[in-house]
């Protein structure tokens, strides 16, 4: 039970708790904030996985942008400040069952995979951030997906402005 493992377990536990609270809590704002907690935990996982860049980007994008957007949306789509009534619909039982089945199925599938219990080789001493930059911007690597993603973002920008614009 090494230190890193303890850290991982704590993080994982908090992630799962936050996630469950997120899907079950009554208040939408709380749900959004629980999402923030979850994402933060994921960022910690990224750090554990020695991907600091992704960790920081996770915080920037998800917590800095997406979560905020969610909170805005929550506040823009309510007449009264507090939610009333149950937040789960009538299908919650079967939904829960299906979720559980999915998890079990995935777990089973994974356990049948031989690389399931592999351990990470120690990271070669390279500047992953720089390499990531090269990979993203070199034509023989991932330049095209990168550009496509940027185009997608642009399209999303225009589209969201269009659909949510207040036509009077």
What are 50's two structure tokens? Answer: 């020695």
Placement of tokens 């823009």 in the chain: 76
Q: How far is the CB of 47 from another protein (least distance, A)?
A: 11
Determine contact, residues 13/68, Cβ cutoff 8 Å. no
Determine contact, residues 158/152, Cβ cutoff 8 Å. no
Kindly report the backbone phi and psi dihedral angles of residue 139, in degrees, each rounded to the nearest multiple of 5, phi listed first: -60, -30
CA torsion, points 87, 89, 90, 92, in degrees to nearest 10? Answer: -80
Which 3 state secondary structure label does DSSP give 46? helix
| CB nearer another protein, residue 81 or residue 139 | 81
Q: How far is the CB of 139 from another protein (least distance, A)?
A: 14
Q: How far is the CB of 136 from another protein (least distance, A)?
A: 6
Q: How far is the CB of 147 from another protein (least distance, A)?
A: 11
């Amino acid at each position: 039970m090494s230190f890193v493992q303890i850290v991982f377990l704590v993080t994982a536990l908090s992630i799962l708790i936050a996630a469950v609270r997120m899907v079950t809590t009554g208040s939408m704002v709380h749900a959004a904030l629980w999402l923030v907690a979850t994402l933060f935990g994921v960022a910690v996982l990224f750090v554990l996985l020695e991907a600091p860049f992704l960790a920081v980007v996770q915080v920037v994008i998800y917590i800095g942008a997406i979560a905020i957007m969610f909170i805005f949306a929550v506040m823009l789509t309510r007449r009264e400040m507090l939610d009333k009534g149950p937040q789960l619909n009538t299908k919650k039982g079967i939904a829960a069952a299906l979720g559980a089945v999915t998890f079990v199925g995935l777990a089973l599938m994974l356990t049948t995979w031989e690389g399931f219990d592999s351990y990470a080789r120690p990271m070669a001493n390279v500047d992953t951030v720089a390499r990531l930059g090269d990979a993203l911007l070199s034509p023989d690597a991932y330049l095209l997906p990168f550009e496509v993603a940027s185009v997608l973002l642009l399209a999303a920008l225009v589209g969201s402005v269009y659909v949510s614009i207040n036509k009077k």
